[in-house]
Amino acid sequence: MTNVLLIGFMGVGKGTISREIVKQSGIIALDTDDIIESMENRKIKKIFEEEGEVYFRALERRVAIWLSHSVRDTLISTGGGFYKVPNLNFIGTVVYLYSDFDSLYERILNHPNAKSKLTKRPLFKEIDKAKALFEIRAPEYERVADIVVDVRHKDALQIAKEIMKKAMK
């Protein structure tokens, strides 16, 4: 197996699905936002506030280069904009978790920590802007993906099994 990358819009459940796959398979998992937070020793929200998005995207590109050179046999969940790094496919098999915007927004709102889920995401501050970003990105995610998994009306276990079957042979 090579690496498997989970891409998709904010709130689609990349972290939750990653944790479920770890539980089912014992694979080691990394998250690009976690790597960036430890590189910088500050939260994503702070990085956006103090340095801006351009700086954050440069960090994502550094992480991508490191992953493609140094990481093997690992499940990698990514921030919602990570898919823009050059040569994403050099890192591993790219799995796009697809949901429509209303379903993923509802998923966030139904979470017990909904407020913090929204405030920690600088690009999800305004619903109209987030929706516009979703519309732009949806075809782009699909274009860079090797595999598309529709996550709607499925629980984490079902989605994890589907990804393991399709991408982790």
Residue with tokens 């860079």: 144
Q: Which of 4, 5, 17, 33 binds ligand S3P (CB under 6 A)?
A: 33
Helix (H/G/I), strand (E/B), else coil: 18: helix
- Compute and round to an integer the Cα radius of gyration of the chain: 15
Question: Taking CB under 6 A as the criterion, which residues in 51-110 touch ligand S3P?
Answer: 79-81
User: Taking a C-beta distance cutoff of 8 angstroms, is the pair 150, 99 a contact?
Assistant: yes
Question: Taking CB under 6 A as the criterion, which residues in 131-150 touch ligand S3P?
Answer: none
**CB of 109 vs ligand S3P, minimal distance in Å:** 15
Nearer to ligand S3P, 97 or 167 (CB): 97
Give the span between the Cα atoms of 58 and 111, in whole angstroms.
Answer: 31
Judged by CB under 6 A, the stretch of 67-75, 86-94, 95-103, 119-127 that binds ligand S3P is: 119-127
Query: By CB under 6 A, is residue 121 in contact with ligand S3P?
Result: yes
Q: Which two tokens stand for residue 151?
A: 């996550």
Cα-Cα-Cα-Cα dihedral of 84, 13, 94, 45, to 10°?
30
**CB of 9 vs ligand S3P, minimal distance in Å:** 7
Supply the DSSP string of 72-85, one letter for each residue.
Answer: -SEEEE--TTGGGS
Query: By CB under 6 A, is residue 13 in contact with ligand S3P?
Result: no
List residues binding ligand S3P (CB under 6 A).
10, 14, 33, 44, 79-81, 121-123
